[in-house]
Structure 1
Amino acid sequence: MSGPSKRADVFIEPDRDPRENGPSLGDERATLVEFLRTQRLTLELKCAGLAPADLARRSVEPSTMSLLGLVRHMAEVERSWFRRVLAGERAPRLFQSSAEPDGDFDGAVADPAVVAEAWEAWRAECAFTDRYVAGAPSLDAVADTGEGRVSLREVLVHMVEEYARHNGHADLLRERIDGRVGA
């Protein structure tokens, strides 16, 4: 018989979790917006309190994935779907380019200015998304992706999925940094 297992430190106590007490009853738009809000907060929580070196710490060789890379990546994803596709803006990429398609992760280095720029860009894109969704006449609003049409509803569901998948990565990255799990 083996001894007691060691449990890693829990990330946040339930009574201090900022994701709780959001709207629980609402129409489809309110529900999707709330799920997106909580996924975004999860990413922020996973990064909270870390120095630039920890945020830029890679998972395992040869991967370039890091918490900072995830923040930069999600800024790109929000920008792409909401500014470029749905709003039809000619918004240049933030961190990626044709020469550096993985610039969101490759450029995620342990520099306080790079960290500040990533958070600023991510928050700006989240704010744009929130304004766009609030002002859209319907979740049935559609846009052309160049490969087909997509509705605002589909994009919101995709964004919840995109954050959820990457928050799973963030769980593992954070646990590797300081052993904290959950959230």
Structure 2
Amino acid sequence: MTWSIPRITTGAERHLLESTLDRNRAELINTVRGMSEAEARRRLVASPTTPIGLLKHAAVAERIWFQHVLAGVPKSECDGGTTSGDASFIVDDHETVADVIVEFERVSERSRVIAAAFGLDDTTTHPDLGEVSLRFIYLLLAEDFARHAGHGDILREQIKHAPTPDISEQP
């Protein structure tokens, strides 16, 4: 994988935050784009992390932070999974790479629509962290998605160039 060059480097703070988050969303998608279904589901670490699982996890994070925390939508009424932790990495057998990409793009678009109704300094209450602002949510998810895109890059490199046994196949 090659690092994409940032296209937006100046402007208002909100514009920079949104473009950075969008760039990291795209980088995360790029870690699975073009992978076969088997490659995307290949597990090379002890955790349930897989390339496709990273994208599924990011969709869960989008729902929790934008739909549930920022917009106040009950978790049961969000448009998909909202269970964090290891469960957020699980991809159903019937879901394809293309399906998970579309899901993530759809939930990201909904996040953009929700965020548009708030100012950077508007706050809401997170059940564990207390008061959080939209600015904090942008920064947190940009950092989280950048880290996971890095994980995805490493997994992709291992899968494509240095085949190792799938950890789930080991005794």
Q: Does 1:87 align with 2:59?
A: no
* 1:20 Cα deviation from its structure 2 partner: 4.5
TM-fit CA distance, 1:123: 1.4
State how many pairs are aligned. 159
1:113-152 matches, within 5 Å, as: 113-136=95-118, 138-147=119-128, 148-152=130-134
TM-score normalized by the length of structure 1: 0.77
Query: Paired residue for 1:47?
Result: 32
Give the TM-score normalised by structure 2. Answer: 0.82
Distance 1:112 1:48, change over 3 A: farther
Aligned-partner residue type, residue 126 of structure 1: S
RMSD: 2.3
Could you tell me which residue of structure 2 aligns to residue 75 of structure 1? 59
> Which SS does the other structure have where 1:113 is aligned?
coil
Give the match for residue 135 of structure 2. 153
Question: 2:63·2:82 contact (CA, 8 Å) conserved in 1?
Answer: no
CA contact (8 A) 1:95 1:103 kept: no
Looking at structure 1, the residues matched to 110 and 56 of structure 2 have their Cα atoms a distance apart, in angstroms, of 16
Question: What amino acid sits opposite 1:122 in the alignment?
Answer: F
Change (3 A) 1:144 1:20: closer
Q: For structure 1, which runs of at least 5 residues remain unmatched after alignment?
A: 1-10
Q: Between Structure 1 and Structure 2, whose CA radius of gyration is higher?
A: 1
In the TM superposition, residue 56 of structure 1 has moved relative to its aligned partner by 0.7
User: Which residue number in structure 1 is paired with residue 169 of structure 2?
Assistant: none
Q: How many percent of aligned residue pairs carry the same amino acid? A: 31
Indicate the larger mover: 156-165 or 116-125.
116-125
Choose 88-97 or 31-40, whichever is displaced more.
88-97
Structure 2 residue aligned with 1:176? 158
Relative to 1, partners in 2 of residues 1:90 and 1:96: Cα closer, same or farther, differing over 3 Å? closer
Q: Structure 1 residues 53, 112: CA separation in 2 closer, same or farther (over 3 Å shift)?
A: farther
CA distance in 1, matches of 2:13, 2:123: 16
* Counterpart code for 1:139: L
